[in-house]
Structure 1
Amino acid sequence: MKSSKKFHFGVNTIFIVVTFIFIVIVCFVKSSAGAEYKIVETKDGKVRGVRDTTLIKKVDFDSFKGIPYAENPIGELRYKAPEPVKSWAPIILNATEFGSTCTQISLLAPENPLQQSENCLFLNVYVPADIESDEKLAVLVYIHGGAFTEGSGNDDMFGPDFLIEQRVILVTLNYRLGIFGFISFETPEYSGNMALKDQQLALKWVQANIKQFSGDNKRITLFGESAGGVLSHVQILSSESRKYFRNAILLSGTAESDWGFASKNGHRSIAHEIARDLGKPQDSMQSLINFFKTVPAESIVKYASAASLFTKTPVTTWAPILERGDAIHPFIVEYPKAIYNKSNIDVDTMFALCSLESMMLYNEKFEDCYDLKGFDRNFSITFPFRGADLPFDSTEYKKLAAEVRYFYFKDAAIDVQTLKPYISLLSDVFFAYGVDKGAKLHAKKSAAKTFYYRFSVDSKFNAIKRWHGGGPGFAGAGHADDLCYIFRCRNAQPFYDEALSTPDDEQSKISLRAVENITKLFANFAKYGEPTYQQEPIAGFLPIDDDQVNFLDVTNDGLMPGVNPNQKAMEFWAHVEREVQEIQAKSKQFVHEEL
């Protein structure tokens, strides 16, 4: 109703209106400034969202930003599992602005600082506006990436427009990052993985409340990219989390990625090092925990950023960790293969990879940042699977490293002339092999369907590539180049403006068609449990079967079904992994965790 007008109701009329509002628990308010708001009553209290319109098709939607799903994780709750948010009733929560992002130091976007706080456990809900009273829409819940140490669910990169245009609901969320989200003091009470526990609580909140937003809580799809893909996969492995979603999409990261788990038994010693570095050495575990619970966040945030994932030893310090069996709230205590072997994981899952993931490394200063000549002289790289503990100076490692070098470079020198095989090597090591292993493991051990697609589009919305100067001069999609086709990335608005202002340009057509295709696949998967429905956007996208990896290639020319993507390289790395297992078994150094 317009606030500038006055209405005079009789008693009966007032009773009818109040009853109607109570039943549907939704009302609209239009301000004198023209903005249209919507109020929804969640189990924790009412929230006021605001009307917006999508970029391409001009579809109206309601946006609810900064809804808290957990109590502020400070004081006694720092480094512990989150507590559900307390009700804010009778206050109406103004959900028109994003909440603070979680404390972080951004290496990916240092020029774009965000409002940060430890009080950051918020989620955002985006809903098409023209919903019938009895309609329930499928829901997609997104876990952002950022090397486990940075990022947020905000619309600078994860705007809802293109998914809203497919008539689904989108939920994005924040979770604790870096040291705040993962550190384990290796005690029952402080066992780590707070980020995973945050996400699980957010999923529980969505399951309990999405009906109020006209969502179908029996059709919730979890998805995430890069580190978010790993975290989404770990949620699949949790029997508790699986109660809160139906299926999942994992982009450019899985729990089988080598960097997907932190090194075992390392956080306690790191915590002591941090305390000493801050001039506050601690002589007991209890005093160490007390120190970390009270030290200002700004004093330890510098220790929360990611070590480089893209060096020859891509070990992530702050990442999911196996918790001890005596943990009070353990999230994961075994590696994925062991969980698959003993669990009935019935989550239909779609795995995805960009065609040349490590092209994201390339920028105008590439030759200054990456010592190709040194790599040529001393070829060594960490193998892309857990438990490969061969010393770089061992005879066995050198033999296998020589095989790797020959597979990618033959007898050529490693320099700017062999840049493409160099990027292919890093793509396979850091991303492709982990995604391939994760998809095959899920297909083999799960009773559910497993789909696989590759994103190969190279056009106007490949934001990462364009921000990095246009790439190294060969076609392909690098890491995260798919994101601005799935989401409206407000940071990339000039790229959208360029395409929308020249709709007849061939590259504009390619970009807009790719948006339609990829979001249609996602929306179909959320709605119907299949990425194609009634042969749209394509027929013939089959799940992986026992004999071959069926996949779909999303290209500049459209959607292309195929089999066994990157087969030679994946078979080569499977051979290397078997060789390492045999060497370590013979030397009695074989790590029996997961190989």
Structure 2
Amino acid sequence: MSGVAGNCWSMSEHTDHLELAHKIAAELGEPKKTYEELVTFLKSAPADKLSEYSLEFVKNIQINIRFAPVIERQDAEQPFLTKSPQKIYETTQFDFDVLFTITSAEFVGLMNLFPPPLEDVLKSEFELPLPFKGLEIPKDDQRILTKKIREFYFDGSADALKQYVDLLSDINFGYEIDKTVKTHAAKSNGRTFYAVFSMDSKLNVLKRQNPEVANVPGASHYDEVHYLFRFKSAQSLYDDVLSNMEDEGSKISLKLIDNITHLFTNFAKYGDLFDKNDSIQIRPVQGDNVHYLDLNNYGFTTGLNPKKETFDFLADIERQAISVNSLKQRDEL
């Protein structure tokens, strides 16, 4: 849930946490000169002030997290991560079952992270970032690739807002999740399952916090958790469901609670998403055949290779980006 290590925001390409910590101390009015002074300060600094620096924000159209994990040196004290996730996949064989999940409209409830206005993105001179790490793309090539992305996602129809949500969702979540699902299935001796949550009912809390996008169909990042667990912060919504149980929206919400609970508890207990006597079964991912389960307002449906056309397009853009990056590096040599 909530993305994979390959997502552009999930790891920092710069090991600058020490520099960032000094910057925070200075901004809080207590600049420190030594490492020891800095550690002492961080242990006693106001937690509410420090937490402000861990917030996610959107730069252009990509999520950025200030304190993202980094690849540590082999000689670091109790290192947590000394190889990139890609290297780990290349050198490690897995033998456990795994369930990857995504929501159908990941970014719709995250629009309050202040992505650029839609009208700015539609401008021909607006440059979209590419969701690929470690690449330096020459300006002219960046504009060419940006134009291709814009033309792919925006077709001039009245659904521009939904298309913008799709772009933000794919760039920040979907594309890398799709790649990781395939990679994990190829490297694992266990089974790899994939589920898409597209439910849209009374408990889609995050999406409904922003009236401007409340009518965009599908489930936002984090929406599905409100069906899996009971949140005190959303108690009034649960009360509404339970006090109006004959309402169609309440019936759908209660059924969704049953379905998602059944799904996760079955996987946690047995490594399968369904009981043998359930009317529906789902095959694990095999190679590039991404069998997936869709949990929606009508129950469960199954499919193959979600958003294949979109992810094939982004894979082609990535190949072009790698190509021009390699040419730039060769020219610099």
**Residue 315 (structure 2) pairs with residue 574 (structure 1):** yes
Partner of 1:297: 45
Q: Highest Rg: 1 or 2?
A: 1
In the TM superposition, what is the alpha-carbon distance from 1:374 to its structure 2 partner? Answer: 2.5
Aligned partners of 1:252 and 1:435 also within 8 Å: no
More strand by share: 1
Mark the runs of 5 or more structure 2 residues left unpaired by the alignment.
none
User: CA, structure 1 residues 406+289, in 2 after alignment: closer, same or farther (shift >3 Å)?
Assistant: farther
After superposition, give the CA deviation of every residue in 1:173-226 in whole Å (9 maximum; x if it has no partner): xxxxxxxxxxxxxxxxxxxxxxxxxxxxxxxxxxxxxxxxxxxxxxxxxxxxxx
AA partner of residue 151 (structure 2): Y
After superposition, give the CA deviation of every residue in 1:474-524 in whole Å (9 maximum; x if it has no partner): 321111110111111121112212222222222211111111111111111
Matches within 5 A, 1:54-133: none
Normalised to the residue count of structure 1, the TM-score between the two structures is: 0.52
Partner of 2:120: 374
Aligned partners of 1:455 and 1:477 also within 8 Å: yes
Give the distance between the partners of 2:103 and 2:320, measured in 1 at CA.
28
Which is bigger in relative contact order (C-alpha 8 A, separation at least 6)? Answer: 2
In the TM superposition, what is the alpha-carbon distance from 1:533 to its structure 2 partner? Answer: 1.8
In the TM superposition, what is the alpha-carbon distance from 1:379 to its structure 2 partner? Answer: 2.5
Aligned partners of 2:103 and 2:198 also within 8 Å: yes
Partner of 1:335: 84
User: CA, structure 1 residues 419+589, in 2 after alignment: closer, same or farther (shift >3 Å)?
Assistant: farther
Per the alignment, in what secondary structure is the counterpart of residue 318 of structure 1? Answer: coil
Matches within 5 A, 1:483-498: 483-498=225-240
Partner of 2:10: 260
Give the distance between the partners of 1:469 and 1:396, measured in 2 at CA.
37
**Residue 259 (structure 2) pairs with residue 517 (structure 1):** yes
Please say which of residues 523-532 and 376-385 is displaced more in the overlay. Answer: 376-385
Partner of 2:329: 588
AA partner of residue 45 (structure 2): A
Query: In the alignment, which of 38, 62, 72 is matched to residue 323 of structure 1?
Result: 72
Query: In the alignment, which of 561, 569, 578 is matched to residue 302 of structure 2?
Result: 561
In the TM superposition, what is the alpha-carbon distance from 1:468 to its structure 2 partner? Answer: 2.5
Give the distance between the partners of 1:477 and 1:430, measured in 2 at CA.
15
Partner of 1:418: 160
Partner of 2:285: 544
Number of residues paired by the alignment? 328
Per the alignment, in what secondary structure is the counterpart of residue 576 of structure 1? Answer: helix
Partner of 2:245: 503
User: CA, structure 1 residues 309+445, in 2 after alignment: closer, same or farther (shift >3 Å)?
Assistant: farther
In the TM superposition, what is the alpha-carbon distance from 1:575 to its structure 2 partner? Answer: 1.1
In the TM superposition, what is the alpha-carbon distance from 1:255 to its structure 2 partner? Answer: 1.0
**Residue 103 (structure 2) pairs with residue 354 (structure 1):** yes
Give the distance between the partners of 1:474 and 1:462, measured in 2 at CA.
12
**Residue 60 (structure 2) pairs with residue 314 (structure 1):** no
In the TM superposition, what is the alpha-carbon distance from 1:289 to its structure 2 partner? Answer: 3.5
Give the distance between the partners of 2:207 and 2:54, measured in 1 at CA.
23
**Residue 146 (structure 2) pairs with residue 396 (structure 1):** no
Mark the runs of 5 or more structure 1 residues left unpaired by the alignment.
1-250, 591-595
Normalised to the residue count of structure 2, the TM-score between the two structures is: 0.90
Give the distance between the partners of 1:421 and 1:278, measured in 2 at CA.
41
Give the distance between the partners of 1:552 and 1:486, measured in 2 at CA.
17
Give the distance between the partners of 1:458 and 1:320, measured in 2 at CA.
33
Give the distance between the partners of 1:438 and 1:359, measured in 2 at CA.
22
Per the alignment, in what secondary structure is the counterpart of residue 388 of structure 1? Answer: coil
Per the alignment, in what secondary structure is the counterpart of residue 308 of structure 1? Answer: strand
User: CA, structure 1 residues 358+546, in 2 after alignment: closer, same or farther (shift >3 Å)?
Assistant: same
Query: In the alignment, which of 252, 257, 269 is matched to residue 527 of structure 1?
Result: 269
In the TM superposition, what is the alpha-carbon distance from 1:337 to its structure 2 partner? Answer: 1.5
Matches within 5 A, 1:118-267: 251-267=1-17
Give the distance between the partners of 1:275 and 1:482, measured in 2 at CA.
37
Identity %: 35
Give the distance between the partners of 1:588 and 1:388, measured in 2 at CA.
10
